[in-house]
Amino acid sequence: MLNYLILIVLLLYLHCITMEKLQLHITISPELYTKDPESSVLGQKIVSKSIEMINDLGFEDFTFKKLGLEIGSNESSVYRYFESKHALLVYLIDWYWSWVEYRLVFATLNVPSVEAQLTQAISILTTEVTEDNSFSYINEVLLNRIIITESSKAYHTKAIDSENQKGYYKTYKRVVQRVSDFVSEINPSYEFPHMLISTVIEGAHHQRYFSKHLPALTDFEEGKNNIVRFYTDLVFNTLSQK
């Protein structure tokens, strides 16, 4: 037990050092790119600028030709990193959920009760995203907007089954599994933990979108944290039912 506590303290200490030096690294599956964009300044610029452009233009109007012009490079140089803009979108989605998973791990690591862990997890999944300075070239706020507005365009394709088999969406599934495990620990007889958590995630995204564009469809109020409160109540009320 003592060794386990020492390990936790060491991990937290290393995490703090890493955060201060802005060296936290998220590893993405090589299946999702042709050349690792984190391996070069150009690759990081491609990712950074693509987030800005997809947020501004929308995925349909975004092209590698436009991206090349923005970063002062040839369109062909972008293709050296990603074989298509669909592949780039999947990469961004995977990066986002890897970042969410990292936040879940550290937010729940030292939390004593599973109920408190689940509360913390729901908050991370539903609260409005703020920029994380641990990653100098990624704007998480803009990336979150892309996840809300564009991520379904990656899933709703004819290639989804083959891409799923290749592990394209394993990080998102791992996030759902991690939080579903909290649900099952609190109420082992509850039949639908994955459905509940994926509904929380996708529903919260819809509510964020509605709050900006279709406010009559939501009960969002600035400064009241209603979306987080709603989904926290929804989950715990559901689990308390016999």
More confident residue, 122 or 241: 122
pLDDT band at 241 (very low <50, low <70, confident <90, very high): confident
Q: Predicted confidence band at 23 (pLDDT cuts at 50, 70, 90)?
A: very low
Q: Which of 27-31, 57-61, 126-130 has the lowest mean pLDDT?
A: 27-31
| pLDDT over 50 at 217, yes or no | yes
What's phi and psi for 128, nearest 5 deg?
-70, 135
pLDDT digits (tens, 9 = 90+) for 39-51: 999 999 999 999 9
Query: 3-class SS at 4?
Result: helix
How much is the pTM? 0.87
Of 12-16, 181-185, 210-214, the range with the lowest mean pLDDT is: 12-16
Structure tokens, 105: 């791990």
The 10s digit of each residue's pLDDT in 89-109 is: 999 999 999 999 999 999 998
27 neighbors 98 (Cβ within 8 angstroms):
yes
* Residue 56 binned pLDDT confidence (cut-offs 50, 70, 90): very high
Instruction: Give the per-residue pLDDT at 3.
Output: 52
Structure tokens at 189: 């007889």
Nearest CA-CA partner of 22 in 146, 120, 138: 138
Look at residue 21 in the predicted model and tell me its pLDDT: 38
Neighbours of 182 (CB within 10 A): 23
Tell me the C-alpha to C-alpha distance, in Å, between residue 62 and each of 52, 53, 54, 66, 75.
Answer: 10, 7, 6, 7, 13
The pLDDT assigned to 16 comes to 44
Q: Kindly tell me the sign of the dihedral angle through the C-alpha atoms of 209, 121, 152, 31.
A: positive
More confident call, 167 vs 133? 167
User: What proportion of the chain, given as a percentage, has pLDDT over 70?
Assistant: 89
